[in-house]
Amino acid sequence: MEPARRILGIETSCDETAAAIVLRHADGTGTIVSNVVYSQLQDHAAYGGVVPEIAARAHVEMLDNLIVRALDEADTRLPDVDAIAVTAGPGLIGGLIVGLMTGKALAAASRKPLYAINHLEGHALTARLTDNLPFPYLLLLVSGGHTQIVLVRGVGDYQRWGTTIDDALGEAFDKTAKLLGLPYPGGPAIEHEAASGDDKRFSLPQPLKGETRLDFSFSGLKTAMRQTAQAIAPLDDSDIADLCASFQKTIADTLDERVGRSLARFKREFADTVDNPQLVVAGGVAANRTIRQRLVETCAGHGFSLVAPPPDLCTDNAAMIAWAGAERLAANCPADPLDVAPRPRWPLDDKSSALIGHGKRGAKA
């Protein structure tokens, strides 16, 4: 039997510095041998968001040691790996440069092929690592920088069905939390407060409800939260909990409606070829328990199964980058040249046009 292919992965696109070793076996299954992540959360918490310069500096300081740890934990030497996969975009340019230059140096020194990976492809293919999922399937990517619905037809074959026209969902959580005086990151803080709140106290608008296109919008909801909070100020603890619960419920309702339309489209287009349709959810917001439960219900109502990788593989990590490299190696995709450039904006579906609504954030989706 053909031996397993061993891939070193490197991830530095935002505020996690990570390295991992992943095996791809001859039967297409995968094994995570090591997965080391350094979170910069405390470095950025005081600023209420990620500071690019601080993030890049931390990557420089931490990455070499993390790669050594990943190799040691996997009982692997650099000459033993079959390829090196590194995030080349999208993300913060400083962090991308640190990771990509490190990956290039290792590839040149070891004479191993280099795969410059789209960070979103890492998310898109993670379910094949964790659940050996067959193509095609739908991906709901909900993170701090991206909110998309993507048809995943194969390695390198993606079609974007919907994207945000303004704020990403994770960004909406962070900005709403800051408005309410809650700590960064906003998603876990809002989920914690919502657990004791009344989600029916405040009626908030559901963005794009009823529209046939599959895009998202969250800036209006964020504005409605600010106006509602200002109308009842000063806020006590009960007000904050009720606002968070109402906000979280509206997000869940929005995803139910938007995603439901996508599932219906998938069933129409693949009714004759896919017997067990699957929706994969990935990205940091996928860790929210209320949102996960609503997506389970949405999928069940449309005859789908929900595949949600473990939370540590939904947030930024190097195992998903290594796996994307392994998938590309197995598919005989050509390696990237050592002069490949980082791409801070890099759509997963190169044929899709950027959608710009109230601002330019949709351009990176």
What digits encode the pLDDT tens for the residues 100-120? 999 999 999 999 999 999 999
What CA–CA distance (Å, rounded) separates 149 from 152? 10
Six-digit token string for 86: 């590194």
Mean pLDDT over all residues of the chain? 94
Question: Before 136, cis peptide (omega within 30)?
Answer: yes
pLDDT at 298 over 80: yes
The alpha carbon of residue 34 and the mean position of all alpha carbons in its chain are separated, in whole angstroms, by 20
pLDDT over threshold 60, residue 295: yes
Structural domains of the chain sorted by starting position, each given as residue range(s) with its CATH number in brackets:
5-130+312-346 (3.30.420.40), 135-311 (3.30.420.40)
Report the alpha-carbon distance of residue 261 to residue 266 in Å, rounded: 9
pLDDT tens across 29-62, in order? 999 999 999 998 888 888 888 999 999 999 999 9
Contact 249/199 with Cβ under 8 angstroms? yes
- In this prediction, residue 358 carries a pLDDT of 37
Q: What is the pTM of this model?
A: 0.93
* pLDDT at res. 1: 67
Checking if the pLDDT of 322 tops 70, the result is yes
Query: How many percent of the chain have pLDDT more than 90?
Result: 87
pLDDT average, residue stretch 77-94: 97
pLDDT at 212 over 80: yes
